[in-house]
Copies of this chain bind each other. A is one copy, B any other.
Amino acid sequence: MRIALDAMGGDFAPQINVQGAIDALCANLDLEVQLVGDAGDLERRLAETGYSGERLSIVPADGFVGMEEKPTEALRKKPRSSIAVCWKLMATREVDAIVSAGNTGGVVAAGLWSRLFLKGVKRPGIAVVLPTLTGRTVLMDVGANPDAKPEHLYQYAVMAQIYSREMLGISHPRVGLMNIGSEDGKGNELVRGTHQMLSKSPYKMDYVGNVEGRGLYLGEADVVICEGFVGNVVLKVSEGMASMFMRRIPDAILKSLHSEKHLAAAAFENLAHSYEYNETGGAPLLGIDGVCIICHGSSDARSIANALQGAAALHKRNVNAQIADALALSE
């Protein structure tokens, strides 16, 4: 299992990527990682770590897509940027997967340019796993496709259901459609069209219909489908709200306590960790002929190591072959 890691991606690159790669290689002996980026810098950093395993190599790239750059412009100007080289390695089958904590728009745009779509897939989409009151729910798409059509959302339902089953171990994931009401006929043209398609599809048994925003975190479905604009807003509003709560709530509670303040403070800290992105293995861009895992820009080494392991698991569970089969059957 060979993975190209965009060593220049993320707020703390390249150091956390070098460390994350080493951590993953130590934990998983089947992995080979290619660090893609500024070869001189990477060699120096690698030497400093003292790591000399042969499963880690360096692939040179020229520059990278910055977090604030416009993806398409940056990719045009820097055709040998780290993320572009990662995709080329996957297109030529030199690697099985790529992982990046860089500019999400850049990762997706480079992927769309490579046209490395899985057979039958109309548009790839990004899936994320969110914690809910009752377990975990996959939300898709969170921003790869801002111009979705019903047939795209339908395919997201197929892809995310397989992802939920294989990666979260839910045997019959219930699929819901994010909407602004629970009754039939609610919402805009896009969701009404998608509702029609899902209601008549081979997946209708697992389709629980419209899910309102409230139902997402209450766990009303194991998979919730939406278009990229809505999904991205939901994901980031959730981040912002969690961040607000994790500052406001401890303040209010700790000042009510005296001798046991330290116990509550420690419990809050544990809780905050459990909601951190670093614990999750990144978000897959599903619908690609290969594996692409997108990590949060603020990823640390543990997060990168988890994402590399997640990429390996996705590959091993044959998620792509199952998606291609399911799409062929449901055409």
The contact string, 1 if C-beta is below 8 Å from chain B, for chain A 196-231, is: 000000000000000011111110000000101110
A212 to B257, CA, bound (A): 36
Stoichiometry (number of copies): 2
Do B241 and A217 touch across chains, with their CB atoms under 8 A apart?
Answer: yes
Do B256 and A263 touch across chains, with their CB atoms under 8 A apart?
Answer: yes
Do B228 and A213 touch across chains, with their CB atoms under 8 A apart?
Answer: no
A114 interface residue per 8 A CB criterion: no
Query: Considering the complex, which residues of chain A in the window 145-192 have a beta carbon less than 8 Å from any beta carbon of chain B?
Result: 146-147, 178, 180-183, 185, 187-188, 191
Do B263 and A257 touch across chains, with their CB atoms under 8 A apart?
Answer: yes
A28 interface residue per 8 A CB criterion: no
Query: Chain A: interface secondary structure?
Result: helix
A133 to B241, CA, bound (A): 9
Query: Considering the complex, which residues of chain A in the window 43-81 have a beta carbon less than 8 Å from any beta carbon of chain B?
Result: 68, 70
A41 interface residue per 8 A CB criterion: no
Residue of B nearest to A142 (CB): B180
A328 interface residue per 8 A CB criterion: no
CB distance from A251 to the nearest CB of B (A): 10
The contact string, 1 if C-beta is below 8 Å from chain B, for chain A 259-274, is: 1100110111011000
CB distance from A147 to the nearest CB of B (A): 7
Do A70 and B237 touch across chains, with their CB atoms under 8 A apart?
Answer: no
Residue of B nearest to A185 (CB): B70
Complex A-B: 25 CB contacts under 8 Å: A133-B247, A133-B248, A146-B188, A180-B229, A180-B232, A213-B232, A213-B235, A214-B236, A214-B237, A214-B239, A214-B240, A226-B233, A230-B233, A233-B234, A234-B234, A234-B237, A237-B238, A238-B241, A242-B245, A249-B249, A252-B267, A253-B271, A257-B263, A258-B260, A260-B260
